[in-house]
Amino acid sequence: MFISNVVKENEPQLVRRIYDKAKEYDNVVDLTLGDPDIPTPEIVKDAAAKALSENKTKYTANAGIPELRRAISEDVFKRTGLTYTSDEIAVTAGAMGALYLSTASILDPGDEMIILEPHWPNYTNMVKMCGAIPRYVNCLGDEDLSHSIIEKITPGKTRAIIINSPSNPTGIILSFDKLKEIADIAKKYDLWVITDEVYRTIVFDGMCRSILEIPDMKERTILVDSLSKRFSMTGFRVGFVCAPKEIATAVAALEENVNSCVCMFAQYASVTALQNSASLESEICNTFKRRCTAMTAELKKSKNLAVRDAMATFYLFIDITKTGLTSEEFAYRLLDEKHIAVVPGNAFNKAGEGYIRIACTLSEEKLVESAKEIVDFADNKN
């Protein structure tokens, strides 16, 4: 039977492979997926239950219920000082829906998009699902980022650059100077910027600015965000796009053919989450800060692991080159010998080779226990 090229080119995710492999072991400590054990806040679950009991179980507008778009507008205003009207906002099935539908809104087959690597691997597949071509720029090294980006621009073909700050997998926050450089390039070469800010409220050290804060960027920026990580609502599947009207309208129009709309009672629960964002987010952020700090302190005891202080997100991206193992060797042997599952860095493209990613998604106690085992493995493996 015929199978499309889109399917053939869809690269299997190494993150999922190791996650599936981990399921074959008993008593495994799974630090692979970015899906924390923190329960969804009670107030949000109550709002979902209330919406259900009020029969909020129907289709909604493709772009989402007006109440949620208003709450999103207020949320983004608090962060950026920019006003988005409801026709500049589309609610989507998580940030994944937002990313794919906005990518499909700006890329034709043969077009190119620049991705800073190491990166969340879904970006590659989303670009390929549009028949377009990903171009990668390594942003781990100290080299001149602007120069590296410009080198990858193909006139008439490059349509966009995607940035993710704070980053999955590195936890790195792009400085405002770097954002300004990227903004200058976008203006000069007439590119869209997709800014994936799903981890923006999980910041421990310093401030995470948005490229939207730079003058004249609103008209060429597609902001992607979601409630998944901010409020521990991964299963609600609520995300959004804030963008110029033509893009928000396109995203909503494409949504009609994919999901029609996001689950109605999840949208109502999301209004409650956003209206209580200050307290809910700070609690979640503090939990991750405690976990990442404790895990980092333990891992730093290793002579073979190079560990940076965590700045943001709940991921630790650890340099394992001194162990002499490749990322995959390290991850698979750690799983086999210690029953601890982490993601090999090459799952996030070539720039991630020599690293592993640990998701601090379990209790502080379990993390510290596993950190001791990881250090033992890294320092005593033979």
Q: How far is the CB of 97 from ligand PLP (least distance, A)?
A: 7
**Cis preceding-peptide flag for 118 (omega within 30 of 0):** yes
Q: How far is the CB of 379 from ligand PLP (least distance, A)?
A: 30
Burial status of residue 234 (CB atoms within 10 A of its CB: 0-12, 13-18, 19 or more): middle
Tell me, residue by residue from 166 to 205, as one string, x for binding to ligand PLP by CB under 6 A and - for no binding. Answer: --x---------------------------x-x-------
Any contact of residue 36 with ligand PLP (CB under 6 A)?
A: no
Any contact of residue 40 with ligand PLP (CB under 6 A)?
A: no
Q: How far is the CB of 196 from ligand PLP (least distance, A)?
A: 5
Any contact of residue 124 with ligand PLP (CB under 6 A)?
A: no
Segment contacting ligand PLP (CB under 6 A): 16-24, 73-81, 88-96, 335-343? Answer: 88-96
Q: Determine the residue type at 166.
A: P
Q: How far is the CB of 163 from ligand PLP (least distance, A)?
A: 10
> DSSP string spanning 41-97?
PHHHHHHHHHHHHTT--S---TT--HHHHHHHHHHHHHHHS----GGGEEEESHHHH
Helix (H, G, I), strand (E, B) or coil at 295: helix
CB atoms closer than 10 angstroms to residue 5: 9
Name which of 237 and 338 has its Cβ closer to ligand PLP. Answer: 237
* Gap between the Cα atoms of 275 and 217, Å rounded: 27
Any contact of residue 267 with ligand PLP (CB under 6 A)?
A: no
Q: What's the longest Cα–Cα distance across the chain?
A: 61
Q: Which two tokens stand for residue 244?
A: 């110029």
Q: Which of residues 300-359 bind ligand PLP (CB under 6 A)?
A: none
Name which of 134 and 338 has its Cβ closer to ligand PLP. Answer: 134
Q: Which two tokens stand for residue 35?
A: 């899906």
Q: Which residues, 6 or more positions from 287, have their beta carbon under 8 angstroms from its beta carbon?
A: 38
Judged by CB under 6 A, the number of residues near ligand PLP is 13
* Gap between the Cα atoms of 305 and 323, Å rounded: 8
Segment contacting ligand PLP (CB under 6 A): 15-23, 93-101, 149-157, 210-218? Answer: 93-101
Any contact of residue 96 with ligand PLP (CB under 6 A)?
A: yes
Q: What is the contact surface with ligand PLP in residues (CB under 6 A)?
A: 34, 94-96, 120, 164, 168, 196, 198, 226, 228, 234, 239
